[in-house]
Amino acid sequence: MPHAYQFYEDFLAHEDRLTISKSVKGLQIPYLIVHGAEDKSVALSEAIALHEWSQNSTFCIVPKGNHVFGSKQPWDNPQIPTELEQVFEKTIDFINN
């Protein structure tokens, strides 16, 4: 996905507020991180870092999950992919607990 140069300029102008590690370390609410084990777009190390930066996070890896958990856009199949169902289950469990 292309990003305009102005996004970079905006980040530089507001780096203190937009730095992910600083923002995550300041979160006071619980949050869920779900990452696909086979995600080729975002490295697993990025998800692990998010988890390590906060005591309020719950971390789950979806085996065989790619970046979109087996789905695509537009979705034209009546069945939900197994990996995406696992994301739903983990999310519902997180919210209920």
User: DSSP string of 4-45?
Assistant: -HHHHHHHHHTHHHH-HHHHHHT--S-EEEEEETT-SSS-HH
pLDDT in tens, the chain (97 residues): 678 999 999 999 999 888 999 999 989 999 999 999 999 999 999 999 999 999 999 999 999 999 999 999 999 999 999 999 999 999 999 999 9
Per-domain residue ranges of the chain: 29-96
- The pTM of the full predicted model, rounded to 2 decimals, is 0.84
Within 10 A of 47 (CB to CB), how many other CB atoms are there? 19
Supply the pLDDT for residue 97.
93
Query: pLDDT at position 32, please?
Result: 98
pLDDT reported for residue 17: 87
